[in-house]
Amino acid sequence: MNETHDPHRNTTRRGFLKSSTGILGGFPAFLGASSILSSDHAHAASATTPQSTKSIIGAYGRWASSLRPALPNLSFRHEKWNDPGVWRKAAQEKARELLSAPMLEKPHAVVEKSYTYDGLTVEELSWQLPYGRRTCGVLLKPEGAREPLPGILALHDHGGNKYFGTRKITRTSAETHPLQMEHQKKYYSGMAWANEAARRGHVVLVHDTFAFGSRRVHYEDVDGIPWGPLNVQGKSDADPEDATNIAAYNTWASEHENVMSKSLFCAGTTWPGVTLAEDRAALDVLSARPDVNPDKIGCGGLSGGGLRTVYLTGLDDRIKCAVCIGFMSTWDDFLLNKAYTHTWMIYSPLLPNFLEFPEILGLRVPVPVMVLNNSQDQLFTLEQMRKADSILREVYEKAGAADRYRSGYHDGHHKFDLPMQEEAFGWFAKWLA
């Protein structure tokens, strides 16, 4: 069952608390009794009940949240911004500065293999970036298609599964890895959604992004981390397709995210900046193809793919339509409630001082944007998903483009199931036709 957005609906405090019970062990993120007292009474209450507020960083949560301006300076909702173009230029400039994405030249893609499968033409591609192993990707399009078609950059999820990348949302053979099938069953109703998007009349490119699949860190690349779960002594890159080895790798790679993110900060860049650069390189590959209409390219994805959709749509003018699935909330939701459930791929230090998280996706208003949420998504709180929804809606309404923003709420936990896929494909069909 899905629920369409009602702009007049308000989530009550009681309703939110009821809806959030039990999510990932239940970290209730709400103000304590002092929040409804006068300032003097609140001060007195805090002196006797120092833990009257709860967050994932304890009594520091509300203080930390208060450090950011209630209305960020570069928010389009601020009264000083009225022209979307003027605002976009200023906000994108600041976002690019803080993301510090590395500059990459357009890559040269090589077709490693071409064949047909299940009514689709499939090309297995690869290209070399200035760092790391070759990027592998899969391009899908309707068999026999001759005219240039709209393109979609389909962005794979995170899912705590760095061994797989492209394979999470594609299928190119009747014989697929059991863990690939398990992943698609868990999150996608058993579908390879990139294949279905291609079947609907698009040229679809899926690529392994930074630290996933062909771009993952190998044990042999890591030089002597000597302690804790990151110690690679006794680990081997041999027989990587073994299910036990994949599980062990994903556990190790999860722990390694801390090291990777800290090291990227020391390099003067950020994880979302590097991912953005690699996704833009893939967009270079897709948009340069003669079988793709470069003026009709969209992007979308679930979870980590939804996160990538936020940054890519907001900061690359070639994206003309986007669908963000299972990744929309506010900085407060991460800060107070859910940072422990999320990847380092999200965070760009200082950016929250200038833009709320949903406003990154809204940077290119009036580009058509759809956001699909799961009402019981364990990675976010429903209250903050709705707040992010209202922020995006306000941005689009202020820009005179209310019809180009749509949100939806579906029952269930974190997923991109068949009903959600139908909504997404309909959105692409509407705006990329």
CATH code, domain with 215: 3.40.50.1820
Mean pLDDT of the chain: 89
Residues 50 and 136 in one domain: no
* Domain, as residue range, for 44: 27-67
Residues 116 and 211 in one domain: yes
Residue 22 included in any domain? no
Each residue's pLDDT tens digit, 281-292: 999 999 999 999
Tell me what pLDDT residue 146 has: 87
In angstroms, rounded to a whole number, what is the distance separating the alpha carbons of residues 122 and 170?
10
Residue 81 included in any domain? no
Q: Which of 36, 67, 98 is the last residue of a domain?
A: 67
Residues 378 and 301 in one domain: yes
Residues 191 and 45 in one domain: no
Adjacent-strand bridge partners of 390: none
Residues 143 and 258 in one domain: yes
Residue 269 included in any domain? yes
Residue 24 has pLDDT above 80, yes or no: no
- Least Cα distance to 103 among 278, 266, 264 occurs for 278
Residues 161 and 258 in one domain: yes
Q: Which of 9, 35, 67 is the last residue of a domain?
A: 67
Residues 42 and 171 in one domain: no
Total H helices, total E strands in the chain: 13, 10
Residue 20 included in any domain? no
Write the burial class of residue 386 (CB in 10 Å: 0-12 exposed, 13-18 middle, 19+ buried): buried
In angstroms, rounded to a whole number, what is the distance separating the alpha carbons of residues 84 and 419?
33
Instruction: Please count the other Cβ atoms lying within 10 Å of the Cβ belonging to residue 376.
Output: 17
Residue 90 included in any domain? no
Residue 227 included in any domain? yes
Residues 123 and 48 in one domain: no
Residues 418 and 324 in one domain: yes
Tokens 């193809």 found at: 289
Residue 315 has pLDDT above 50, yes or no: yes
Each residue's pLDDT tens digit, 384-399: 999 999 999 999 999 9
In angstroms, rounded to a whole number, what is the distance separating the alpha carbons of residues 284 and 386?
34
Instruction: Please count the other Cβ atoms lying within 10 Å of the Cβ belonging to residue 71.
Output: 11
CA 301 centroid distance within chain: 7
Tally of domains in the chain: 2
More confident residue, 221 or 32: 221
Residue 395 included in any domain? yes
Residues 270 and 156 in one domain: yes
Reported confidence tier of residue 227, pLDDT bands at 50, 70, 90: confident
Residues 34 and 153 in one domain: no
Residues 217 and 290 in one domain: yes
What DSSP line would sit under 119-160, residue for residue?
TEEEEEEEE--SSSSPEEEEEEEETT--S-EEEEEE----TT
Torsion angles phi and psi, residue 409, rounded to 5: -125, 125
Alpha helices per DSSP H over 324-417: 331-332, 357-361, 382-398
Residue 245 included in any domain? yes
